[in-house]
A = this chain, B = another copy of it.
Amino acid sequence: MGTKYKIVVIGAGFGGLTAVQGLKRADAEITLIDKRNHHLFQPLLYQVATAGLSPSDIAWPIRTILAKQDNVRVILGDVADVDVASKKVMTDIGDFHYDHLIIATGARHSYFGKDHWERSAPGLKRIIDATEIRKRILIAFERAETACDEAETRRQLTFFVIGGGPTGVEVAGAIAELANHALKKEFRSIDPGSARVVLAHGTDRLLPAFPEDLSAYAKEALEKLGVEVILNQLVAVDGDRGISMDGEDTPAATVIWAAGVQVPDVAHWLNIETDPSGRVPVGDDLSVEGAPDVYVIGDAALVSWKDNSVPGIAPAAKQAGSHVAKTLLAKLGSGRDPGAFKYSHKGNLATIGRNSAVCDFGKLKFKGRFAWWLWGVAHIYFLIGVRAPFIVATRWFWDYVTYSKGSRLITGVLPLFEESEKTKD
């Protein structure tokens, strides 16, 4: 074993996992390091945040996925640094030598320098983000039910989503549906349907990656669900008091951040220049300039495409992972070198609510009910291979028929009960 080629992969998201799986036949010693024990199907994370799915519906142990691939060792560890000169990854549980390194850390949400906003306006990237947001949404309704005055009720029933990309659109739509359907008739002092859901976006249309007519449709569909869409609007998060727009305050107990992404750590590890959002520029073969044994893929990489860059979506990360795997296989003597990476764009999908979605496949565009079913089928299909998707399908079907939401748990430590949960109870 000791003399085998060593490949280290950081991150078991779509990119890292695909790279590892592509190296199945490699005569190498692969180490996959992740901070968490699970691979997350991020496109459905907003459904956990809005109580439609459970965490374990969309996350699976990395070990289980790779149980049968004998050339991989999975490590639960936190990468502290990379030493490019001596080819070493340093983690909290020890150092790992590599001959080739694949960095696939993904991105986090970005507050454009206002990191202190995070406490009041959490973003949505990890399971614990989703359960935190779910907790906040559900507690807001609870607090509204027992609020003593009108203003406090309004504040609790105001949900403010910042950022009109796919995540913002999906979250805003799902909160509106939760309020209008699943929570209906469950409260005595408030009408959940009177909740105010606001989606604020900085430019002149939602879903900027989609064609203009689909953006317009998304806005209309959200408004039909009762969401207030505000365009061309920059907002400031004002502590626990809510949102400030053009100097005017909107009290909102629940604020959700979906406005930008940033790649943490990688620039610092490699000690190189990145673009403003922390993405690492890579060459044709996805390797880093000056460190040809280091590849960066997925959201962490800056790869030019058309007059822009490859988008930070799951299919792009998978293509890059697969490409690097082929390159390394060629280096190890099995298979041909795939040459330069060419991103092939399949399309964009975003869902707005029940029976309402947008799909853009270039020439073909869909919206409405058919797009929604297409979205559902596509996601069930993508789940295949990581887990038997029929449990998710069953749950969705059930929720679709009954208008219910299956996972409305407030767990963890409630802010209001922090002390009692810890000491008394």
The interface of chain A, by Cβ under 8 A from chain B, is 35-38, 54-57, 59-61, 63-64, 66-68, 73-78, 92-94, 108, 126-128, 131, 138-139, 142, 145-146, 148, 183, 185-189, 264-265, 388, 390-391, 394-395, 398, 404, 406-413, 416-417, 420-421, 424-425
Contact = CB atoms under 8 A, between A and B. Distances in A.
B188 A73 contact: yes
Contacts of A185: 67-68
A32 B424 CA distance: 21
Nearest to A64: B186
A404 B78 CA distance: 27
Contacts of A395: 391
Residue of A92, A264, A394, A409 most packed against chain B (CB within 10 A): A409
B94 A146 contact: yes
Contact of A398 (B75, B145, B388, B409): B388
A57 B146 CA distance: 28
Contacts of A68: 185
Closest 10 CB pairs of A and B: A63-B186, A56-B407, A76-B142, A54-B54, A37-B410, A54-B56, A67-B186, A73-B188, A61-B408, A93-B146
Given A37-B138, A55-B411, A265-B424, 8 more contacts: A37-B409, A54-B55, A76-B142, A76-B146, A127-B411, A128-B412, A131-B411, A264-B425
A54 B388 CA distance: 16
A127 B73 contact: no
Contacts of A388: 398
Nearest to A125: B425
A265 to B, nearest CB: 7
Contacts of A408: 37-38, 56, 60-61, 64
Contacts of A55: 54, 409, 411
